[in-house]
Every structure is written in C-alpha cells, then in structure tokens.
Amino acid sequence: MISKVAPPPELAGAEGLDATEYTRVSIFMSVFDVHINRSPVTGRVRKVAYMPGKFLNADLDKASEDNERQHIVVETGAGVRIGFTQIAGLVARRILTFVQEGDIVEAGERVGLIRFGSRVDVYLPAGTGPRVLLGQRAIAGETVIAELGVQPELVGISQ
C-alpha cells in the first residue's frame, strides 16, 4: 500500500514525528521472504516503542493499528525524522529489535527481524514521494524506497 496518513500516536512526540500528514509505504513480506528489516536512513535512533497486539494478516490495512508492532524513529544529520513500524503478521508472532534509543545506524543497516508473514510501514515526510510502485518487489538493502525532499513522478502499477 501507498497512502497519505497521519503517523500513529506511538511515533509522535518530542522524540518522534510531528502530527502532519506523511506518505506511508507499506512493504508486505510473505512467509517465503527474508524478514530482516533495515534502517531506511543514516542517523540516530530517537525513539523505539513496542505495542502488544493481535496477529491479523499483515497485508490488511487495520494491521497497522491492531497487530503487535515495534515503532522506530531515526533522525538524520540534517534533522529529518523518518519513522517506520515493524508489524507482526498472522504467522510471525515475534518481533526482534536490534537497536535502542541513542544508537547510530547507517542506511541499510539491520535494525530488526520479524518472524514471518509480516509488514513494515515507512513514513515519508512532506515533499518526499515514494520511488516504488504498488506491487513492486522490494529487496532489503537494495531497493530505494524514496529520496528525501524529492517528489518523483511515478505512474503505474508494477506487475
């Protein structure tokens, strides 16, 4: 899914995201995918917030609010904050986080693992558009999801 939304309350606050609208890019991982999650940007981990919850199918929109999840905010050296959420799915039932507040991470660095059939939501700030299409297969550490401050004009649905 790619949609415009307010960030979840767990990503908000002094160390989190503001209450403006973000572009949410949801990346679903089937039970056959690798479930290592990587930092979308280089920066300092400002916030980590765990939320217990249900284990609904992770490709459902309501999984963002109902399922067990781990929220992480990373702030770049330029002060831009990117939030992302690890969401447990129907089969997963376990989220492991490899970072804690205050850690410095590199773009593409492993920050966690979800076991299995899960999803990651990435919240892009205003003026940043996704560089992926609906249905496109993302490869961790390789696929560029977005470019900060750039609003690319992508049209279509990947097959």
> What is the Cα–Cα distance from 21 to 150, expressed in whole angstroms?
16
Average pLDDT, the chain: 84
Annotated active-site residue in 26, 39, 64, 118: 118
Which DSSP string do the residues of 123-155 spell out, in sequence order?
EEPTT--BSS-BTPPP-TTTS--B-TT------
The residue ranges of the chain whose pLDDT is under 70 are: 32-34, 54-64, 91-93, 117, 153-159
- Tens of pLDDT, residue by residue over 28-49, are 877 766 678 889 999 999 999 9
Q: Is 118 a catalytic residue?
A: yes
**pLDDT score of 58:** 65
Domain boundaries, the chain: 2-124
CATH architecture of 2-124: Distorted Sandwich (2.70)
Residue 32 burial (CB count, 10 A): 7
**pLDDT score of 34:** 66
> What is the Cα–Cα distance from 40 to 134, expressed in whole angstroms?
18
**pLDDT score of 101:** 96
